Amino acid sequence: MRSYRPFVLQALSFLAVLLLGPGGSLSGQRSEPLKTPLSEDAILLFSNEISGQMAFDNMVKLAGAPWLRSPEELTGEGNFYESEEIYRMARAYGVETVRFDRYEAPGTFTYPLAGELWVDGRRMARVPADAALVASGSQSGEVEGRLIYIPEVPQSELPDLAAEIASDPDEYRGTVALMWSHPRGAMVELLDNAGVQAVISFSSRERYFDPDQVVYARGSYGQNQTLRLGFNVSWRQWSEMLEDVHRGLEVTIRGKAEIGAYPNRFETVYAWIPGTEPDLPGVVFTGHLFEGYTKRGANDNMGGPAIQLEILRALHHLIESGQLPQPRRTIHFIWPNEISGTYEFIRRDPSLVEKWSININMDMVSEGLRNANSWFTMSETPAQLASFYDGLAAAVLNYVWRTNDIVYLGGAPRGRPGGQYFPVPMWEKNGSRDAFRFFIHEATGGSDHIVFNNASVAVPGIEFFTWPDQWYHADTDTPDKGDPTEMKRVAFIGASTAWVSANLTDEMLPDLLQAVSDFGYNRVAERGIPKALETLGKAETGDMKAGILASTIIEAAVERERDAIRSIHEIHSGSRTATRLVDDELASWGAYGDALRGFVLQAAAPGLAGGLSLPEPTSEEASHASRIPRLAPGIRGQEFNMGRFQPAQDYFRDHPGILNEIGLTNAQTSQISNWVNGRRSILTIRDRVAAGTGQEIDVAQVARYLEILEEIGWVEIERSR
């Protein structure tokens, strides 16, 4: 291992130059901190029209319904309340371009129609008053028995518990178990065979913050003979029962549940603001109305559709009143069942994927930040689907922060004299006066944006999100946790960024390019450069493999930002001026990338003039540089999971161990699939996967895996001309 100390001063001085973008400003520090691609007049227009209070009121309408669904909703004789109501509200705003889709789905869903839990003759909870009482997966039935405590048992100690049960079976037979979590796997079988009738458990985001919340949870009770019921209670209720058991009291539990099963279905509400160029890529908002049909949360996620409904209302009004023109690109709104409903919506009209440039997903965005001890966050677009939107959103988020917080920075705007006021406050009379705080992080999953980031859809998707959420998946996720001020700010962020994305003018373009590049230089400085230097730091001076990998990491980091700039070509006006501006910015990034790679190669071999010299591509690498994989016909927008693709199932069943023979990990095969876009060569995909995983990978391995995907009909491989 070598020390970097002799090279530190040289590296830092060179980095100081490299981290300056072509515009001359240090990455991440904008010369005009409140600058966005929108004009001041447009910002004022959106801020004045958007109402966080109206969004909040609509969330109350959506989430304030009775917890227990009506028989008509369950059987399908009527529609689900949420989809029916948001469709009605959109129509009431005069939006005619709104559609209610309903179609059958495979299988059935279960729903707790009734439930009770009694402790020593005292009713502790019941459905519908306590919506989360009955654990999903339970069977209908009644139980009565003595309460016992079963502590957490590691898998390795299950034989000890089995021996204990065998030594005194009457201690367990006919009882109700108090457990830290609902049992899974071998523990379920053990307790079922022992004659335990039910389990009482709790889960909590922060048990001392809200000890009375009950979190929706599920257990493996559906196939058991004896252990058929699970109950969810609060931390306070659970701990008091534990205290009584430890005191030696004999506690009697009585409980029951009635579970109904109903034909599954999808209900999706789809609205849109038509663009004058409807066949070119526009914007698609998503916010799920359902996450299963039992849990009905305000922040998760009636707040998301309510905020997007306010965006729809505001834009519709501004356009209809002549204050805004019709956008060039269509702005779409999809309110589905989370993830599965979004996939089904796309599968039924796969042509839509060609009409979207960016997905803006909102999930859990309505809570007050101070009340929830939270941050407003954004999950950025993934590297393989780099988009202008990351930089655009960062600029608008920065604007909302700098105008709705007391920022002690030079050039920060100031409000009224005589006190610490927000410079340009964006709040509601009945909302909080919270400062706005935000954080942008690498791409994550967990909500509808992963549908768009799926390689078979390949539309860049981001997620706006509030975390931590102290009432996540709990029966206390109710409208009183919402904040009209926060909802106004989120609606402003969504509306303004969507408007730039759907109606980018040549006047907006220079500021958008600056925002995207500012964010890109910062991302390269924070992630790409440290990762490359870390790779070199683990190797000996002059190590060729480490030098190649570090150079590959830098190239991938820079090309990600160039891809983000390139994506602006999809949305700009198409004028010669716009095309030239984007191409000039790409050229600046190209020069920056060349200089940065030179720095890394010098760092790899500081004693050599000119640094480490990389070898020429091998003949095999050169051959794969002209082979371009693309998704096969019938895959994009129609097949979303290779594991469920029948030809893939047949192939891997007939060729067990083939991936081990090739020498690829699951992470590598997943990334290989993600990078296929019909423009990248097999060699480029190899380099991007190596950079992403930080591991060497041979181009022959990548080629062999893609050839398998071609054999099963997932991709086609063409040779570029």
Output the pTM of the full model: 0.95
Amino acid at 500: V
Residue 16, pLDDT score: 44
Which tens digit of pLDDT belongs to each residue from 508-565? 999 999 999 999 999 999 999 999 999 999 988 889 999 999 999 999 999 999 999 9
Whole-number average pLDDT of the chain: 93
Q: Closest Cα to residue 560, out of 463, 442, 464, 451?
A: 442
Residue 1, pLDDT score: 42
Q: Closest Cα to residue 272, out of 230, 330, 188?
A: 330
The vertex-677 CA angle with 671 and 682, nearest 5°, equals 65
HSE of 507, CA atoms in CB hemisphere, 13 A: 5
Q: Which CATH number fits domain 40-97+274-502: 3.40.630.10, 3.40.50.720, 1.10.3720.10, 3.30.70.270?
A: 3.40.630.10
The vertex-610 CA angle with 609 and 615, nearest 5°, equals 120
Which tens digit of pLDDT belongs to each residue from 163-220? 999 999 999 999 999 999 999 999 999 999 999 999 999 998 888 999 999 999 999 9
What string of H, E and C letters represents the secondary structure of 154-206? CHHHHHHHHHHHHHCHHHCCCCEEECCCCCCHHHHHHHHHHCCCEEEEECCCC
Q: Closest Cα to residue 636, out of 266, 296, 420, 355?
A: 355
Longest Cα–Cα distance of the chain, Å, equals 86
Residue 25, pLDDT score: 39
Q: Which CATH number fits domain 108-262: 3.90.550.10, 3.30.360.10, 2.20.25.90, 3.50.30.30?
A: 3.50.30.30
The vertex-131 CA angle with 129 and 133, nearest 5°, equals 100
- The DSSP code for 68 is S
Q: Do residues 135 and 290 touch, judged by C-beta distance below 8 A?
A: no
Domain borders along the chain are: 1-35+509-615, 40-97+274-502, 108-262, 616-721
Residue 721, pLDDT score: 67
Which value, in Å, is the radius of gyration of the alpha carbons in the chain? 28
Written out in words, the top-level CATH class of the domain with range 616-721 is mainly alpha
Residue 10, pLDDT score: 45
Low pLDDT (below 50) residues in the chain: 1-10, 12-13, 16-17, 22-29
Q: Closest Cα to residue 86, out of 311, 389, 241, 236?
A: 311
